[in-house]
Structure 1
């Protein structure tokens, strides 16, 4: 994947919206409202507040990472241009080769990163094999 595709994937994750109906189906905890009738002048208005919250402009949705704020009084961070992100960030989504692919290659011609990956995956496979053999005994 190239850099632009990676950043576009990250941007698209931030712009995912979930309809109210889906959230209601997943789980909702309700309490008795004291007789079933709302009093005049009550401060309820939950449905009106929900409608206001979901009407963010499309411009705000496309320029910010929704839900990434962890500070109580903070705001969601803005999406920056690709050149403003560090190079290592774009390599986080790179897929490494699988153990079967690395076993077919000549170990002496592997790059350092591929060799590290091969050793890690080979050790993991041997541990799994040893555990399965000892579990049967």
Structure 2
């Protein structure tokens, strides 16, 4: 008798519909307005507009102040900043590129970088050999 009910049930609902019904997720519907100060999406849905004017945004580094009583630093002309600052984002050569060059003719900065990267690679190799044993 139970088998006949199963067969009729299968004929009514195919497998994909049954999976869709079982795996659907439902959420409760809010019964009223959100209370003030409650954790709901109703308050923070819209992005807040900045109350800073364009002049302040273009002359100061907004958000760079880390001190409680301090103010945001002013943006200075490019000539006021040190030269090394403009070279921070330059691409530096990789270990493979440095090892292809003659070590004797490398500038000091590249030689220093080569030694650092070579030491790091040897340490990684030694650690991986020790981990295998």
Matched residue, 1:100: 96
Deviation of 1:37 after TM superposition, in Å, equals 5.0
Uncovered stretches (5+) of structure 2, i.e. residues with no partner: 1-33, 37-42
* Whole-angstrom CA distance in 2 between matches of 1:92 and 1:64: 22
- CA separation of 1:37/1:121 partners in 2, compared to 1, >3 Å: closer, same or farther? closer
TM-score by length of 1: 0.60
Uncovered stretches (5+) of structure 1, i.e. residues with no partner: 1-35, 39-45
Higher-Rg structure is 2
Answer yes or no: is 1:62 the counterpart of 2:32: no
Superposed CA RMSD in Å reads 2.3
Query: Which of 121, 125, 130 is the equivalent residue of 1:125?
Result: 121
TM-score by length of 2: 0.61
Q: Per chain length, whose mean CA-contact separation is higher, i.e. which structure has more relative contact order (CA < 8 Å, sep 6+)?
A: 1
- CA separation of 1:72/1:104 partners in 2, compared to 1, >3 Å: closer, same or farther? same
Matched residue, 1:91: 87
Deviation above 6 Å: which 4+ runs of structure 1? none
